[in-house]
Structure formats: C-alpha cells, structure tokens
Amino acid sequence: MITKTMMQRWLGPVVVPVVMMVALGTLVVADAASAQRPGGRGARAGRMGGRGGLSSGGQLMHLRALDLTEAQQEQIRSIHEQSGEASQAVDERLRVARQRLQHAVTANVVNEGDIRSLADALGTAEGDAAVQQAYLHAQVWQMLTPEQQVAAREAEAELARRTEQRRQHMGERRELRQQRRQQG
C-alpha cells in the first residue's frame, strides 16, 4: 500500500524541480519582456524581492544584466506573446492534473491504480511543460550574442552556488533545531 509520505517522496524529487523550472522560466521571459527599458535596466531593477522572475532564479534569469538591445527586447516580447496561449493551456493542464492527483492521494480509500494513472498523467503534463519551456529557452538563447550567453551562464552558475549555500545553511539550522529539541 502506498502512503501519502511514500508518494511525496516519489513525487518531490521529480515533480517539484520540473514545476519550478517551468514556472520560473515562464516568468523570466515575461518579466524580461515587460520590465526592460531602453536604457537596459528593468523598471524594477534594484528592488528587493520583485515578483519572482529575474530575481528568483531559473534559466536566462539575468536578462537585465545582459544589456539587451532594443531589437532583442522586442524579440523577447514577441517570443513571449507567441507562447502565451500555449503556456496558459499547459499551466491549466498541470493545475488540473495536480488537483486530480491530490484528490486521489487524500481520498478516504486508497486506489493505487488510480493514483499511479494520475501520477503518470501529471508526469506527461510536466514533460510537455518542460519541452515547451526548452523551446522558449532556445528561442531566447539563440538571439543572445556569444558574450551575453557567457554572462548568462556565469549568472546561472552564481545563482546555483548561492542556492546551494542557502540549502546548506537551512540544513544546519534544521540540525540545530533537532539538537535543541532532543536536549530540551
């Protein structure tokens, strides 16, 4: 019998990173397209904790720092507009698939076949979203100059380094809390 905890262990490492990558990547393109000013820096540049997007990670997250030309900014807007309806459709499929799986997982009676079927459907929807995001990423990436691509990779590496530091710090804090509980 599969328990809720077992399902969370299985879904967590697979679904959460894909969902985050897709969601953040979509926000990246939207934020970059809407926030760029002709001067190169975005309208919200310098603000702490904007609305996700460029400040919170994801592929091509540092578009603001790449000094995009006006033509590049327009291309990004166009790419985002062209993908808008498809992105909304994928987002809706993901939302419905997650909701259906959650209902099956929290049902009074465990139906393993139903849960597995719904998890497979969610996995397929996640895969579709990842493929769509990959196409978006590739379109934006191709319009960057080699120098901008290098700068974007460096920014992504820095983000990964800081994210790992935060993860380690949170782990240390968790261990300290557990030690305090055991002592007290």
Evaluate whether residue 174 is within a structural domain: no
Evaluate whether residue 178 is within a structural domain: no
Evaluate whether residue 71 is within a structural domain: yes
**Number of structural domains, the chain?**
1
pLDDT bracket for residue 131 (50, 70, 90)? very high
Burial of 118 (0-12, 13-18, 19+ CB in 10 A): buried
Question: Cα dist. 65→49, 68, 151 in Å?
Answer: 16, 8, 8
Residue 67's pLDDT is what? 82
pLDDT bracket for residue 47 (50, 70, 90)? very low
Residue 81's pLDDT is what? 87
Residue 164's pLDDT is what? 96
Q: Which helix (H) or strand (E) holds 26?
A: helix 4-35
Q: What is the DSSP letter of 54?
A: G
pLDDT bracket for residue 38 (50, 70, 90)? very low
Evaluate whether residue 48 is within a structural domain: yes
Estimate to the nearest angstrom the gap between the alpha carbon of 114 and the chain centroid: 27
Reported as a single tens digit per residue, the pLDDT across 73-126 is 899 888 888 888 888 999 999 999 999 999 999 999 999 999 999 999 999 999
Residue 29's pLDDT is what? 40
Q: What are the phi and psi torsion angles at 36 (to 5°)?
A: -75, 135
State both tokens at 71.
């033509």
pLDDT bracket for residue 36 (50, 70, 90)? very low
Evaluate whether residue 173 is within a structural domain: no
Q: Which of 16, 12, 2 is nearest to 105 (CA)?
A: 2
Evaluate whether residue 126 is within a structural domain: yes
Q: Which of 19, 96, 31, 93 is nearest to 62 (CA)?
A: 31
pLDDT bracket for residue 5 (50, 70, 90)? low
Evaluate whether residue 167 is within a structural domain: no
Residue 34 belongs to domain spanning = 4-145
Evaluate whether residue 175 is within a structural domain: no
pLDDT bracket for residue 155 (50, 70, 90)? confident
Mean pLDDT to the nearest integer, 134-157: 90
Residue 40's pLDDT is what? 39
Greater model confidence, 8 or 50: 8
